[in-house]
Every structure is written in C-alpha cells, then in structure tokens.
Amino acid sequence: MAELVLTRRMLDRPHDSWTLDAYHEMEGYQGLYRAVREMTPEQVHAEVKASGLRGRGGAGFPTGTKWGFVPKDIFPRYLVVNGDEGEPGTFKDRMLMERDPHSLVEGILISCYALQSEHAFIYIRGEMGHAYERVVRAVEEARAVGYVGKDIGGTDFSCEITVHKAAGAYICGEETALLSSLAGYRGWPRLRPPFPAVKGLYDKPTVVNNVETMCNMPWITRRGGAAYAEMGTERSPGTRIFCLSGHVNRPGNYEIELGTTFRELFERWGQGVRNGGRVKAFVPGGASAPWFDASKLDVPLDMDVLGKEGSMLGSGAVMVMDQDADIPRAVWRLVKFFAHESCGQCTPCREGADWLEEILERMLDGHGRPQDLDLLFDVCDNISPGLNWPPAQTTICPLGPSATAPVWSTIRLFPEEYKRLVTGAHTSLASSAPAGAEPAGVTADA
C-alpha cells in the first residue's frame, strides 16, 4: 500500500487536523516555501507534469498539461478551485475541506505560483456550511502568518484567495457554468472552445481544478513528481479518494492506490456486502457512469482501463447494490436527478431527461407497456446518438448524455428487471408505498 497523500493528517490528528498549528506540525506549508524560495514557476509546473497527476473532478485530464494551455503572455490569470461537489455518491471534497483545509490552501498557493496567478477563487457548494467556515478560517489563519497576501515567504510572489459560497445548482460544477456563476450570473454552461484556460473568468485565462487535485500539490512539491508517479499505475498514478456508498458494511471515503480492484475495495475497505449478501450491480464512477454487474468486480481502478471497459472512474463515487436492489427504481432516481439539474438550454437534455424520468416512473407505477424498452432506448439515442461510450454529445455540456448512461447500461445488463415492469408483475411506485410502509423491492432494513 502506498503512502497516504491526502488523508494521513486527518487520520493522525482527528481532533484538530484542520487547524494551522496541527498542519504546521505535519510538514504544513513546507511545500509552499520550497516552491517559492527554491524553485521557479516552471520547475514547479515540471514537477506536476512529472507526477502524471490527473484531475480528480471527473474528466481525469492531466493537470500539468492543462496548466500548459494558459497563454504565456496574458495577465492577469486566475485559478478557480471547484468545490461544488454534488454528483450523487460523491462526498470526498467536503471531507477534505472540513478536515484538511490548509492542504487545499497550500495547494492553491503552490499552483498559483506555478501558474503565475495572483488571485485564486474557491467555489464551495452552498449547502456545505461547515466546509465553507473551515476554509474561510484556514485562509484567514494563513493570511495572518503571511502565506496569503503580499510578498509570500519574503519573495516577490503575492497571492490573494477569495472563498465564494455558491447557492445550490449541481450544474455549476461544470467548469464553464461555474465561471458564469462566479461572475454573478445564472450557472449556464457555454460551448467550448474557447476553453477557460484561454478565456475564462472575466474573459481572462483561467485554470479550473478540483479540490482533491489541489490537495495533492503540497506532497508533490515536497517529495517530487517522480515519487508521486511511482504510486498507482502507469497511466493513473498516485492515490485517490474513493467514496464508497450503498450496500456495503462500511461505507466511507477511502484513499487507495489506483490499480486496486473493485473487489478489494468492496471486501477489504467496505467489509463486504451487508447481511452477507452479494453484489448485483455497482456504479463505478459517479451518477454519469455506465453501470457494471458483478462480472466486472476484478477490474482495476484505473482511468484508462475503466474507459476500455465502457465506463469511467469519474468523480470517484462507487455505489454498490446487493441482490435485493431494485435496478429500474435506482436508475429512475438518477434520471430524476439529471432531469432536475438540467439547466434547460439544450432541447435534447431538457426534454429528453424529463421523458426518461416520466417513462420510468410510469413503468414503476405499474403501467409498463411492451414498447417502453424501445422507447427508452429511442429517447437515449435522441440525447446521445449511438449510445456509445464515451457518449456522443449533441448538447452544450456532458450532462445531457450523462442522463442516458444509467438507463441504457442497465437495460443491457438487467433486461429481465425491466421486462418485469412491462408484464405488470411489479407493484406500483405510489400505491405500494403508503407513508411508513416499505415499497416492494426497496430495502430499508439496514
């Protein structure tokens, strides 16, 4: 097992890991001083490239490469950190912000130095009041001792950090929507190009990175990119926090080396399926990822391997369902999420996600028709033609195609569960579940 890069501090100091004193005692801000005093911005950038670190926000894009897209001669430029975590099943960034906010602050300062940016913004999901307070406090503490502000560490590097509280809209996690929202507008995604690295916040070059991505930077600058690249697999280096939830005995956030298998994650970390049951299905990487059945348990947690297997590691959310789980009902719930969160700009997404939700709801309500499976495929195909992976995109952002992934992947894996709805052998969604009673197929007994 590799060293713990992200969660060591909160494990060692569960009662004060978020304070500056505790952070100082655990090599805190040494990476920043090393960077600004002993390295040029180019050298820091080179270490990040050498680490092979890939973004932890969902798309897994190599961070060093992304930084390289910023035009050389345009200033000011901004770093915007994405703490809008809202993908169902994902709860790692909140933990990092609550328990290790100084590593986020240090990571941001190091990144700003490398990017030659003097102003960073942390966009925090509004519902996470506690995380917001902890991050605000960490920035204040860091400012009081001179890590944030003018002439950091006695050098001529200056950097300001603004903590921004969002207000509830999942779509603002998408980077262009996030930038509109941060500028004070509705969180509407826009077409790329231009990419934010060229034209982002206030039309200036802007790098958008995830919270967990940032929290790796102190370690990488202290220990070097090569040491980081030794962990994990060749194309997915490092460790990563997986958010394990659903029907395992011990759900939670686990930092593990990339390359571990799902089986190990479930059995060793999750302590097995509850009540001694077995895995029927699992979502390998967040609500937007196509689902897997038990035949994929030995697939390693590696971004490229997952891509070849027809899904993705995405946001790091792994949701497990045991043999009693009602698959169409679970899928309906995710589709409902997408229908609710669609920003409404693109017809296929706005109308399509609503249609999927309504059809599934009607089927679960006991009014399934034989043609419904074809209809579901057809609606999916209208949103994302061809139903391939990675999905074809006819919409402004990937949310539209994402809504289809749970549907088509599970109809292919578990056709009998859907056929049951068509033949009327299923209890209705509404009538089977008067207040307090358990609807058929949903297990609320754990």
Partner 1 sequence: MTLNASDKVFVKERLERAREIMLRYPDSRSALLPLLHELQDAAGYVTQSGMREIADLLGITPAEVLGTASFYTMFKLEPIGDHLVSVCTSLSCQLYGADVLYRNLLAHFAVANKKTTADGVFTFEEVECAAACGGAPCLQIDYKYFEFLDPEKAVELLEDVRNRGLSIVHEERGSVNAPLPPLTPEEVSKGPAPVGSGPLSETAREEGHG
Ligand X SMILES: Cc1cc2nc3c(=O)[nH]c(=O)nc-3n(C[C@H](O)[C@H](O)[C@H](O)COP(=O)(O)O)c2cc1C
Which region, judged by CB under 6 A, interacts with ligand SF4, from 9-17, 211-219, 289-297, 342-350?
Answer: 342-350
Q: Does 253 bind partner 1 (CB under 8 A)?
A: yes
Q: Does 209 bind ligand X (CB under 6 A)?
A: yes
Given CA atoms 143, 148, 152, 158 in this order, what sign does their dihedral have? negative
Here's the x/- map for ligand X, 387-416, by CB under 6 A: it reads as: ----------xxx-----------------
Q: Does 354 bind partner 1 (CB under 8 A)?
A: no
Cα separation of 86 and 169, whole Å? 8
Cα separation of 300 and 242, whole Å? 13
Residues 166, 346, 356, 380: which binds ligand SF4 (CB under 6 A)?
A: 346
Least separation in angstroms between CB 166 and partner 1: 7
In this structure, are residues 138 and 83 in contact, taking their beta carbons and an 8 Å threshold?
no
Q: Does 379 bind ligand SF4 (CB under 6 A)?
A: no
Cα separation of 385 and 370, whole Å? 23
Cα separation of 270 and 267, whole Å? 5
Beta bridge partners of 80: 121, 208
CA proximity to 349, closest of 174, 181, 104, 164? 174
- Among positions 258-297, residues that touch partner 1 (CB under 8 A) are 268-269, 271, 283, 287
Phi, psi dihedral angles at 268 (to 5 degrees): -80, -50
In this structure, are residues 341 and 399 in contact, taking their beta carbons and an 8 Å threshold?
yes
Q: Does 189 bind ligand SF4 (CB under 6 A)?
A: yes
Beta bridge partners of 279: 322
Least separation in angstroms between CB 375 and ligand SF4: 21
The residue written with tokens 């499976």 in the block is 373
In the complex with partner 1, the residue whose CB is nearer, 191 or 435, is 435
Q: Does 395 bind ligand SF4 (CB under 6 A)?
A: yes
Q: Does 391 bind ligand SF4 (CB under 6 A)?
A: no
In the complex with ligand X, the residue whose CB is nearer, 210 or 233, is 210
In this structure, are residues 384 and 403 in contact, taking their beta carbons and an 8 Å threshold?
no
- Among positions 293-322, residues that touch ligand X (CB under 6 A) are none
3-state helix, strand, coil in the chain (%, to 5): 45, 15, 40
Which region, judged by CB under 8 A, interacts with partner 1, from 127-135, 220-228, 364-372, 391-399?
Answer: 127-135
Parallel/antiparallel/unpaired status of strands 279-283 and 317-322? antiparallel
Q: Does 339 bind ligand SF4 (CB under 6 A)?
A: no
Residues 333, 362, 367, 369: which binds partner 1 (CB under 8 A)?
A: 333
In the complex with ligand X, the residue whose CB is nearer, 85 or 302, is 85
- Residues in contact with ligand X by the rule CB under 6 A: 55-59, 61, 66, 82, 84-87, 171, 173-175, 208-210, 213, 397-399
